[in-house]
Chain A
Amino acid sequence: MSLFRLGEKPYPTQILQKKLYELLLQGKRIDGRGLLQHRPVKVELNVVEKAEGSAMVTVGKTRVVAGVKYDLGSPYPDTPDKGNLTVNAELLPLASRTFEPGPPDENAIELSRFVDRCIRESQALRLDQLVYVPGQRVGVVYVDVYVLDFDGDYFAPAVLAATAALASSRVQRYEVQGGVVTKVEGEKVPLPLVKLPTAAMVGILRDKIIVDPTALEEPALDASVVIGWGTDEELAAIQKDSPGLIPESIMDEIIEISRSVTINLRRTLKELLRDVWNPGLVRSQEEQASRA
């Protein structure tokens, strides 16, 4: 292609690009991984006792903590028969010398909106089951994600942390009698989470595709895209999150790669959550409700 100097990076990055590509040709990455090999993933649950649910996720040297809080509130006027979900994410100044304190910038906004879409659009959280008095009192689920340490891709770890925190949450139980909502002291219930959304970051350098790039690799990539799946078969969210061209011809391959990466992440999560998360229970509650 005669795209002279299109997307040309600063000179040091060009040297890095050349080196990375030479390695990719040999099937290797600069940290010794294979092209489609994810860094080790560690998920710790309940790291914050005062939160309804929480998770610390470490992917390589990227670290993200997510916490869930639950409250009563009024539904949005256009969804009187649904609870509310509010997702916020912050790129803490602790995490990188390039992150600055202050109100969320466009990168933090993009991250929160992506995590939101993975949970909301996959319909993982049954917001319709968080209604106490339709149009009046509903449950409000707050998911807050903080990036603590940055070594490339915070999207996939953030989705993983948010999902793990939601799946392990135990929230205050409320009773409704004659339109009055009251706390049931000392009783906590899980949130109606029926799916485990996970996401994968895919990077492109010339004709090579890699997953889970590090902070060193990220600036050298031609393009990157983060892809969230609600289940093994269903996409939930996509975000091309940086400038650059993605050849149309490799898009299907990118989707398939992201599918297998997210299936593995979901399997790991399911195993970890086996004692605390039971989607079958949510469905039986639903059946009870329909019978009542």
Chain B
Amino acid sequence: MERAVLIREDGTRVDGRRPDELRPFRMEVGVLENADGSAYIEMGKTKIYAAVYGPKEAHPRHMAQPHRAILQCRYHMATFSVSERKAPGMTRREHELSKVIREALESVLFLEEYPRSMIEVFVEVIQADAGTRTAGLTAASLALADAGIPMADLVAGVAVGKVAGRLVLDLSEEEDKNCEADLPVGMAPSINSIVLLQLNGRLTKDEFSEAMRMARKGIEVLYDHQKKALQRRFAAYGEVAE
């Protein structure tokens, strides 16, 4: 199979980005009418809605925990979100990503404040172009904030990849398909903590350290924009003084 040139001679990437540059992105909070909290994110061509319902009565009731709320999360991709139509049901990949996103959010949520109840998070990928789990996490965190659910920090995520021997931030689909490694990272930046961490691919220890530093920088940029998106949402109610 022919290999596309992913890193040009001048060090820029196939879409013209620098190695440490995010794709163009956009975030919006409060985009759905019925949800208690919602958010929309675009990272390059990746487009995702997130919605939060709750805290509400736990259902089914035997799932209720006496000391805390239960958090449920569904990460799902629309059938038309990818080039070849995806089957509508949940794939094994979607089950796994639902779990890692839920656990990432659970790391910062004060679930102990809502015993016997339940919070639901739905992440719906309407177009996938790499980085959907991390963008989904970023949007889900905004939706939780929009729902007014207390958190220790917002969380944001981004993937670092190794492409043609070089570490690059925020893989596009073209890069993702031909990468040597893909490291999705989710962080709570204000408390200097990792909430989501996976790796698919080959990295040395030193490359891992460098990749984590790149992820941190990207996450800080996303985090700033998350706060701005929330301010825009609540400025409409006159609740935020600039």
Chain A interfacial positions (CB closer than 8 Å to B): 1, 3-8, 10-11, 81, 104, 106-107, 109-110, 112-113, 117, 121-123, 223, 225, 230, 233-249, 251-252, 255-256, 259
**Do the beta carbons of B96 and A106 come within 8 Å of each other?**
yes
In the assembled complex, B112 has its CB within 8 A of some CB on chain A: yes
In the assembled complex, B14 has its CB within 8 A of some CB on chain A: no
CA distance A121 to B196 in the complex (A): 19
| Contact A109-B204, Cβ < 8 Å, known A6-B152, A246-B193 | no
Q: Which B residues are in CB contact (< 8 Å) with A239?
A: 100, 197-199
Interface range for B: 35 or more
**Nearest CB in chain B to that of A7: its residue:** B107
Q: Which A residues are in CB contact (< 8 Å) with B92?
A: 104, 109, 112-113
**Do the beta carbons of A245 and B193 come within 8 Å of each other?**
yes
CA distance A109 to B209 in the complex (A): 28
**Do the beta carbons of A109 and B95 come within 8 Å of each other?**
yes
| Extra contacts besides A6-B108, A247-B194 (10): CB < 8 Å | A106-B99, A109-B92, A121-B200, A237-B198, A238-B197, A238-B199, A239-B197, A240-B100, A252-B205, A255-B209
The 3 closest A-B pairs by CB, nearest first: A238-B199, A245-B193, A243-B106
Partner of B188, one of A234, A245, A259: A245
Q: Which A residues are in CB contact (< 8 Å) with B165?
A: none
Residue contacts A-B, CB under 8 angstroms, 23 given: A5-B110, A10-B67, A81-B1, A106-B98, A106-B99, A109-B96, A113-B96, A117-B200, A122-B202, A234-B203, A234-B204, A235-B199, A235-B204, A235-B205, A238-B199, A240-B103, A242-B103, A245-B107, A245-B195, A248-B192, A248-B212, A249-B192, A252-B212
**Do the beta carbons of A106 and B205 come within 8 Å of each other?**
no
CA distance A240 to B137 in the complex (A): 15
CA distance A86 to B81 in the complex (A): 25
**Do the beta carbons of A259 and B205 come within 8 Å of each other?**
yes
In the assembled complex, B144 has its CB within 8 A of some CB on chain A: no
A-B contact count (CB 8 A): 121
Measured between C-beta atoms, what is the minimum distance from A4 to chain B in Å?
8
Question: In chain B, residues 163-197, which have Cβ atoms closer than 8 Å to a Cβ of chain A?
Answer: 181, 183, 187-188, 191-197
CA distance A279 to B108 in the complex (A): 46
**Nearest CB in chain B to that of A246: its residue:** B194
In the assembled complex, B15 has its CB within 8 A of some CB on chain A: no
Partner of A237, one of B68, B106, B200, B208: B200
CA distance A239 to B185 in the complex (A): 11
In the assembled complex, B216 has its CB within 8 A of some CB on chain A: yes
In the assembled complex, B113 has its CB within 8 A of some CB on chain A: yes
**Nearest CB in chain A to that of B187: its residue:** A248
**Do the beta carbons of B201 and A245 come within 8 Å of each other?**
no
**Do the beta carbons of A248 and B199 come within 8 Å of each other?**
no
Q: Which B residues are in CB contact (< 8 Å) with A234?
A: 202-204
CA distance A240 to B188 in the complex (A): 15
Partner of A3, one of B104, B113, B152: B152
**Nearest CB in chain A to that of B188: its residue:** A245
Contact with A along B58-94 (1 / 0, CB 8 A): 0000000011100000000000000000000000110
| Contact A245-B191, Cβ < 8 Å, known A110-B99, A113-B92, A237-B199 | yes
Measured between C-beta atoms, what is the minimum distance from A86 to chain B in Å?
11
